[in-house]
Structure 1
Amino acid sequence: MAFAADLSTLTDALITSVTKISPSQKGSAHIQSLKRRVQGGLRTGSHTRTDQFAVAKQLEGLQEKFQVLNRDELAEALRSRLVELEGSRNSWLPEILSLLLQLSDRPALLSTVDRIGKKDKPSEAPESLSWSDLNPEGAAYSGEGIWEQVDFTADSSDDDDFSSVVSDVSAPRHRPPSSTSIEEDYIVPDEIFTPAEDDDLIVCIEKAQFWRIENHPPVSQGKDKASQTITELQLARETIFMLQGLPTSVFWRLDDDAEIDRSYTLAHSSNESLASLLQCFGEIGAKINAVRDFIKTPQTIPYMQTFCRGVEERLHEFDGTLSQVQYGYLSAGSTISLLQLLADVRQHSHELALLAEMIARLGKSSTDQPMRCLDLLYDLICMLEALGDESASRRLAKLFFLCFKTYTRSIQLWMETGQVDPSDITFFVRANREGDLRTLWHDWFALDEGPRRQKIPQFLETSVQKIFTAGKSMVFLRHLNALLPETCEKSDMTLDEISSSDSLLLLPFSASVESAFEKLVDIDHSLSAIRLREELDEKCGLWSALDALQHVYLGKDMSVLSMIDAKVFELIDRGRSWDDRFLLTEISRTAFSSIPAIDTSRLLVRPASTTSRESRNHRSVVILESISIDYGLPWPVANIITEEAICSYQRISTFLMQIRRARYTMVKQRIRDARNTPVEKDDTLVYALHHNMLWFIDFIYGHLTYLVISTATQSLHSALFETKDVDSMIAAHQSYMSSLEAQCLVSENLSPIHKAVISLLDLCVHFADLQTAHLSGTSNSKEEDDEEDSMEAVKIRPTKKGPEDEIDSDDEDDDMGHEHTLTVSFHDSTYDQQMRKVKLQFDHLATFVADGLKGIARADGLPSWDILAERLEWRRHNILR
């Protein structure tokens, strides 16, 4: 308590002395706040001890720094002293070492072992220095100037101070003023100047500058003409400077051309010959200058950057050749000849001249037409090879393969990983927005060929689709978690081997490029396609899905379909709620549950909208178009069997169901007729019509199922076994569906024949309804007068039944239940007249169908149409007249 009281008293005194506040205000809130803050600062334990481990770590780091900077002597000295300190440790050693580390100033730069060593030696008494020991004459300490103030900043800088510290760290910090002398202005030694006796050399150099007017005064050569004669060496050097892109006096650069100053002449050459010679040099220089300007243009396309670098290397080689020629001119006894120089320049600038012509054709279209440069280079090499210029074609081929390898990096990335490089604007694959996995193959990626296929090199057009397929296969495999091992090294090796000089000697250039790219593509395409094919066959259920579609849509098992048809057709005949989607789905799932290939949970039956159904005749087979059967496929299989293919399956399924509907109506009517009506002698026409209609229906259905669908399905399986990638599988299935649509008469170009067949089916249903109405009308007319017998209008209304009748019916209800939907009248025409009308319609429609099939068979040549047409034609002649 005494300590606390003393601390409080001292705190009050400290606050009073610092803040100058009167002691009378001791109880104010401000004073109390200050007191709490001061006590908090003085409280015991507010400052922690130094972390000894952090200090040790800093010292170790300092030793490593000395060793990295090749100051091993400092590291060893520090280590030995730390070892020595370990023997005499005390509690404040970490604080002491931390303080020394914080006070250190660039120890690796300013410390020396000598300075450290001097501390270990016993201090020696400094020797006394007297004025008599100094030589006053000619010494730095002579004269009265030693007492003057010295301006150290005038002739020194921070660097001088730094160097002085580094060079002599043992020197005292405060030196006598006389030790720093003021340096006088630097005087250039006379020996570096040309002595006066070399004035002739200076005059010679000045005279060599022929462009000076005073050196070559103009000499008149006629009216308004003047010329200056120069040496051939001077003209040759001017030409070399011009070819190197330097400004000269003889050649002027005007736009893209090199103009010649005709005021310079040679003493031993005519002006016309010299002008012609210089014109040749000017044309070559203009082309080379165009190349120099091209490589200065910034390029954003990767392969164009590689192309510019290759052209720049060739320019460097050309400049080096010119420098060697110029160096040869300086040799003693060398011969200077402009003609020889022209021959040498033409030889070494041939490749650059060809590139200049190509660049001129390229123009400024490298951004709008990103592949034009590669195409032009390819065409140039092929042309040189055809002309027999092997040297130029071989060197340009190496440049082409460098550019081509840079260009194919995006292609390799796409084929090996399925990724698109967004920074490469020249790549022809564009990634769309990812969506449903069922449309991965068709919608996630697209070929961005650009206008007029400007993003695809002409020599790669045949392989673009294979590249596109290989990349999509990798994306497909990635979503199936079945990625392939890396194949990048194989692809790189292929390009390097083909682009080597030895390979170019064996094959023409076009064949070399084709071979290189085919190997690059085939390695990735074949591996990804085979792996994806295995995944689709073994794990994705492709074959079981095809088998399920055969059962659901194409009537592969009639025993299953007959159960569905019987229930649906019965509900339609009774006029009940046959279009309930829950009822239809349950009926279908129950019927197909016995087939292992079908997953009934994927099966869904959806009727059309109410408005479209009400607008149709319930006795027509067209009403069955309201039923839509959907079978959901796994997303990998859905990429092969597309939604368009499912729609084709549904159209074929509806057509087959319509045929079964007509046959069901006629068979049920014949069964009722056999039960309730005795055989009449004048019913020959009715029996003949019934027989021929039933034969027509059976033959049409049998032709479609047992011949068309069965044969096409076998062909599909064979084609799928031979496919190599998903695109081939999709194409095979699309061909299969197109063939089925055509042969099953549901394609758009066969709509007249299809409508005629539907009319025939409706006619069969109408024929059965006439017989049913006639049977009902005959039994009712026995109770009426004979005058009204033949004109009886039969229109049966539905009767009310209990709920139990919706599920179970007796035999009488089974026989007559379909009459609830009949609206047949004999008021306008008799039963016999309507039967004869039915016969005429049947003959007309059967003839139309047969003739139409024969016509399209002659046009397209499908054998199934010929077979169907011949059978219908044969049967038509056997119909009873």
Structure 2
Amino acid sequence: MAAAGTQKALTEELIVAVAKTDKSTPRFRNVKRRVDEALKSFQHARTDQFAVAKQLEGLQEKFQVLNRDDLADALRPRLAELDEHRSSVFPEILSFLLQLADRPAQLSRVERIEQLQPEEEEKQLSWTDLDASETAYCDEDIWENVDYGASSSDEDDISSISSGTQPAPSFTQPTIEDDYVIPDDIFSSGEDGVLVTSITSAQFWRDVHSADPPTAAKESSRTITELQMVREVIFMLQGLPTSLLWRLDGSVEVDRRYTLAHLSQEVLSSILRSIGDCGAKIDILRQFAKTPQSAACMQTFHRSIEDRLHKFDKFLSDVQERYLSPSSSVAISLLHLSDDVQQESKLLVLLADLVSSFDQTAKNDIQFLDLLFDLVCITQATGDDENFAVLAHIFFLCFETYARPLRSWMETGTLEPSLFIAENPGKGDLRTLWHDWFTLDIQAKAPSVPKFIRPFAHKIFITGKSMVFLKRLNMAQSLDAPGKASLTFEDVYPSNSPSLCLPFYALLESALSNVVNEHHLFTSSLLRTELNEQCGLWLSLQALEHIHLCKDMSLLGPIDTKIFELIDRGKGGWSDRFLLTEFAQTAFSVLPFIDPSRLIVRSAKRSDNRSRSVKILSSLSFDYVLPWPVANIITKDGMAAYQRLSTFLMQIRRARYTVVKQRLQYSDQDSHSKGRTLSYAIRHNLLWFLNVIYSHLTSFVISSTTESLRKYLSTASDVDAMIEAHRSYMASLEEQCLLSKNLHPLHQATLTILDLCISFGDLHTSRFQHHTSLDPTRTPRKQIPGKPFKSGLTPTPRKTRYEYSYGDEDDSDSDEGLDETDSQSEDEDGDTSPDRRGSIHEAQYVQRLKDIRIQFNHLVAFMAAGLKGVGRVDGQVSWEMLAEKLEWRKERTAGWS
């Protein structure tokens, strides 16, 4: 209980002492409650004395390893001496000292330990110390009785005898002589008195009230000479404390107690205030010169400030020497000194304003460079050519220091943290080197790039990335710098050049542009050559044009036929990526610019398994793996656009394959029926639409746009321009091929027409099955033009995975083949459409044909009107051309309506 009470009292005293609050206030109670909770929750663990001893032994060994045996020898006996006086608090004390130690092996010195030894107190002398044996005066008769009879009278003898007492010895007081006073004439003569008086009068600051700061209420009380005032002004400008001019809160105040005999107080105050303002500005620079700088650019400016201050101090020393030299006959004038100081310190005042205008604590060298650049431009605009030249030299010195990371980035691709380019820590994929490895960090609110470099920041960024790219291609080691990357005042303003009359910012911008453009042109042209000749950019574009843009249908035809036949037969392996990959690699291996090992067919699982729609083909994708340098030009978004174009063109070919396949499946029994005539008309118009849109996309849109891409790529200035050219190329292709987002309704209308083609083929197949069942003696198939007639065919048994033939399969229209297709479609694809389940009658057949015709006419009219509408807005010529082609059939619709 006593301990708890003591702790409570100590806690209250501590709160009162630290928080400065009374015990009766609510704030005191709140603070005390928080302190009590903190003390209760804190667990005070004892220090492990063995761990401390182990640390001390390790420290001794560390001293010996680092060849500091003197420290180890000094520590060892002290620890041994400490063991003789054991205490329970020694481990805590030693642990605390070990935690406070700061690199003892490097910073500790034995001499400092010896200096910390306590000084021995001087012992006061005692008689025992003076004579310990007490034999100093034992041989002398100082302790014997003194015989005073020889010098006393008889009366004294009688009285002393009669009284029986011994008279007390008497001591005579020695006489004290007066101290000797040295006369003044021994040290100085009469002439020296005048010198002493002049020296005393020259020390005008020796006044009882001179230590007080000047105030406006005090009146002038003492007249001094102009030489004294000039000396005080010079001392103040040199940064020394003076009695005439006082430094208060960053300004210089005039002590009005001093005046000149030949000047009024108002004139004198005006001159001194002018000089004081100049001195206050110089004090700012002196304070800045004493502050260490961390940024390299600021260190260069710091050095320049020191040089200017040194030059100004030399000027003050020369003035002081001229005034105080006994051999010179110079008229002492405070006004003349003020004019000289104003002229000499004009540059320093400008620099002081610059230092005062930016935040030194923020350490923002970008802001400093912008302010220095503005100061140089303003100084030139005011016509101060002398100070402009000095400021321009300082600017170029600072800029040269700042530009060293820029030069390293442009010449070697080496990135430093102080640059305005950020490096992505998660880099690693070379295919995204150009896009994701580095980022240009330019912010509007907190600018990270000086204003005079901002117009060239992007080119600097591209130049450095090009060097990194070339390093990855093992090309940067053999490169030489194209030219000089640094700038000086002489480079921008050559001597005896008429460019001195041009603005500084224009000449600096021109010089920076020349340097940056020279490096940019060198690296970009070299990288562009490497991409074209060594990395296979043009070969990759040719490969993509053949694989995705269907440039050669002789290669894609067999692939399409295999896929479409498998879909029609209900084969589940139509989307087998292994089968299709091997088949595609075999088909494209005949082209020398395509590497078959880079071609991969991918298949995505779809939730809907509608084989009777062209949309099912979107689950297939032909991927061509590009080399990583080319992959930086043709990005993932570009490859996705290639996939969409390839899928759309395959969907059109799928619809055309279905319509063309039905060309021989007509019965002789309904040769003059209305359904047959309508079927021929629908088939003709469907083929017309498919041929128009496919030829428009391939022969006009893709070919002309690809030719434009080749021209742009051949004249591109750098990799960014090449990437932008390809991105614009893919965007233009998607727009003209109706695949952009704003043309989504037209694209859906086109897909609906393609699905109508599939529906028409299915309807015609069902109708053909009906007639075959009614006439069993009918020849089940007719000879296909261009192929020999084959007879005696039997249904092919179902094959397992990887057993499909790559050869051309017979496009048989026999009943057995159709029955097999129907059964496999129902069993494997789960398609239960009425057109595929069984035969239909004539009336139903004609009605469905009319529905297809009506829907087709509506969709074609909608597409034509939509294309003309968007063509008027965006001005794409290809849309208007396609709309005119689609409107061509309006005049002929009456013949089959």
When the two structures are superposed, what TM-score results if normalisation uses the length of structure 1?
Answer: 0.71
In the alignment, residue 520 of structure 2 is paired with which amino acid? H
| Matches of 2:581 and 2:751, distance apart in 1 | 26
User: 602, 606, 611: which one pairs with 2:602?
Assistant: 606
Aligned pair in 2 of structure 1 residues 277, 769: CA closer, same or farther (>3 Å)? Answer: same
**Cα shift at 1:741:** 1.3
Task: Quickly say closer, same or farther: Cα 1:416–1:426, change in 2 above 3 A.
Answer: closer
Pairing 1:338–2:334 present? yes
- 2:526 aligned with 1:531: yes
**Counterpart residue number, 1:660:** 653
Rounded to whole Å, the distance in 2 between the matches of 1:233 and 1:489 is 62
- Quote the Cα distance in structure 1 between the aligned partners of 2:860 and 2:210: 111
1:565 deviates by 0.4
Contact 1:536–1:636 (8 Å) recurs in 2: yes
1:342–1:801 distance in 2 versus 1, CA, 3 Å = same
In structure 2, how many angstroms separate the alpha carbons of the residues matched to 1:559 and 1:321? 91
Distance 1:469 1:321 in 2: 49
**Equivalent residue, structure 2, for 1:590:** 586
Q: CA separation in 2, counterparts of 1:255 and 1:224?
A: 20
In structure 2, the residue matched to 1:113 is none
**Contact kept in structure 2, 1:429 and 1:447, CA below 8 Å:** yes
Q: 1:382 is matched with which residue? A: 377
**Distance change >3 Å, CA 685–CA 301, structure 1 → 2:** same
CA distance in 2, matches of 1:878, 1:775: 28
The equivalent of 2:308 in structure 1 is 314
Distance 2:892 2:583 in 1: 41
Distance 1:657 1:216, change over 3 A: closer
Task: Tell me the residue number matched to 2:227.
Answer: 233
Aligned residues of 2:218 and 2:257 also touching (Cα < 8 A): no
Structure 2 equivalent of residue 470 of structure 1? 463
Q: Which secondary structure does the structure 1 equivalent of 2:623 belong to?
A: strand
Runs of 4 or more above 6 Å deviation: 193-197, 214-218, 221-224, 674-677
1:545 to 536, 540, 543: 540
Question: Residue in 1 aligned with 2:869?
Answer: 855
Does the alignment pair 1:835 with 2:849? yes
Q: In 2, are the aligned partners of 1:605 and 1:630 still within 8 Å (CA)? A: yes
C-alpha contact 2:400 2:486 (8 A) present in aligned 1: no
Deviations 1:428-480 (A, max 9, x none): 35354430111111122221235636111111112111111111111111121
SS of the residue corresponding to residue 419 of structure 1 reads coil
Residue type matched to 1:233 in 2? L
Alpha-carbon displacement from aligned partner over 1:622-670 (angstroms, at most 9, x marks no partner): 1111002110111111111111111111011111111111111111122
Contact 2:412 2:467 in 1 (8 A): yes
1:868 partnered with 2:882: yes
Match of 1:746 in 2: 739
- Which among 756, 760, 763 is matched to residue 756 of structure 2? 763
| Pair 1:417-2:427 in alignment | no
Give the Cα separation in 2 of the matches to 1:533 and 1:224: 81
Report the alpha carbon displacement of residue 871 of structure 1 after superposing the two structures with TM: 1.5
Q: In 2, distance between residues paired with 1:660 and 1:629?
A: 16
Contact 2:424 2:439 in 1 (8 A): yes
Out of 677, 692, 696, the residue aligned to residue 689 of structure 2 is 696
Q: Distance in 2 between matches of 1:630 and 1:222?
A: 89
Superposed displacement of residue 752, structure 1:
1.6
SS in 1 for 2:453: helix
Matching of residue 711 in structure 1 with residue 704 in structure 2: yes
Q: In structure 1, what is the equivalent of residue 551 of structure 2? A: 556
Change (3 A) 1:876 1:222: closer
2:237 is aligned with what amino acid?
L
Counterparts in 2 of 1:366 and 1:399: CA distance versus 1, 3 Å? farther
- What's the offset of the Cα at 1:375? 0.9
Structure 1 residue 704, shift from structure 2 partner: 0.8
Indicate which of 241, 244, 256 corresponds to 1:247: 241
Q: Is the 8 A contact 1:430 1:447 kept in 2?
A: no
Contact 2:392 2:489 in 1 (8 A): no
1:161-207 deviations in whole A, cap 9, x for unaligned? xxxxxxxxxxxxxxxxxxxxxxxxxxxxxxxx997774543443332
2:317 — aligned with what? Answer: 323
Q: Is residue 211 of structure 2 the alignment partner of residue 213 of structure 1?
A: no
Residues 430-829 of structure 1 aligned to structure 2 (within 5 Å) = 430=423, 432-450=425-443, 452=445, 454-483=447-476, 485=478, 487=480, 490-492=483-485, 495=488, 497-499=490-492, 502=495, 505=500, 507-576=502-571, 577-609=573-605, 612=606, 614-673=607-666, 678=671, 680-780=673-773, 801-803=797-799, 807=805, 811=812, 812=814, 818-820=821-823, 821=825, 823-825=833-835
Q: Structure 2: 5+ residue runs without aligned partners? A: 1-185, 777-794, 826-830
Contact 2:482 2:518 in 1 (8 A): no
Matched to 1:872, the amino acid is L
Q: Give the structure 2 partner of residue 286 of structure 1.
A: 280
Q: Tell which deviates more after alignment, 460-469 or 446-455.
A: 446-455
- Amino acid across the alignment from 2:765: T
- Give the conservation status (yes or no) of the 8 Å contact 1:745–1:753: yes
Contact 1:377 1:400 in 2 (8 A): yes
Amino acid at match of 1:632: V
Partner AA of 1:757 in structure 2: T
Equivalent residue, structure 2, for 1:121:
none
Aligned residues of 1:763 and 1:838 also touching (Cα < 8 A): yes
State the alpha-carbon separation in 2 of the partners of residues 364 and 215 from structure 1: 39
Mapping of 1:166-315 within 5 angstroms? 198=192, 200-213=194-207, 225-315=219-309
Compute the displacement of 1:381 (Å): 1.4
Deviates more, 1:512-521 or 1:479-488: 479-488
Cross-structure match for 1:373: 368
Specify the SS of the correspondent of 2:439. strand
Give the 3 Å change call, closer, same or farther, for CA 551–852 of structure 1 in structure 2: same
C-alpha distance in structure 2 between counterparts of 1:433 and 1:562, whole Å:
44
Q: CA deviation at 1:365?
A: 6.2
1-structure distance, mates of 2:863, 2:672: 33
**What secondary structure, in the 3-state scheme, does the structure 1 residue paired with 2:221 have?**
strand
Distance apart, 1:311 and its partner CA: 1.9
* Aligned AA (2:557): S
Contact map agreement 2:421 2:438 (CA 8 A) in 1: no
2:312 and 2:881 mapped to 1: Cα distance?
Answer: 78
**When the two structures are aligned, how many residues end up with a matched partner?**
666
Match for 1:436: what amino acid?
D
For the pair 1:363 / 2:363, whether they are aligned, the reply is no
Residues 511, 568 of structure 1: CA spacing in aligned structure 2 closer, same or farther, 3 A cutoff?
Answer: same
Instruction: Give the superposition deviation at 1:492.
Output: 4.8
**Deviation readout 1:408-445 (Å, 9 max, x if unpaired):** 110110111111124xx244353544301111111222
Taking the aligned partners of 2:482 and 2:660, their CA distance within structure 1 comes to: 71
CA distance in 2, matches of 1:868, 1:417: 52
- With over 3 angstroms needed to count, the CA separation of the structure-2 counterparts of 1:782 and 1:489, relative to structure 1, is closer
Show structure 1 runs of 5+ residues with no match: 1-192, 784-798
Specify the SS of the correspondent of 1:670: helix
Q: Does the CA contact (< 8 Å) of 2:403 and 2:486 recur in 1?
A: no
Closer, same or farther in 2 for the Cα pair 1:338/1:677, shift >3 Å?
farther
Query: Which residue identity is paired with 1:863?
Result: V
Write the distance in 1 (CA, Å) between the matches of 2:415 and 2:567.
56
SS class of match (2:253): strand
Q: Is the 8 A contact 1:745 1:754 kept in 2?
A: yes
Moved more, 520-529 or 425-434: 425-434
Q: Alpha carbon RMSD of aligned pairs, Å? A: 3.0
The one-letter code sitting in structure 1 at the alignment partner of 2:676 is: D
Over 3 Å counting, the alpha-carbon distance change for 1:244 and 1:409 in structure 2 is same
Are the structure 2 counterparts of residues 215 and 761 from structure 1 closer, same or farther at C-alpha, using a change threshold of 3 Å? Answer: closer
Q: What is residue 124 of structure 1 aligned with on the other side?
A: none
User: Equivalents in 2 of 1:210, 1:829: separation in Å?
Assistant: 131
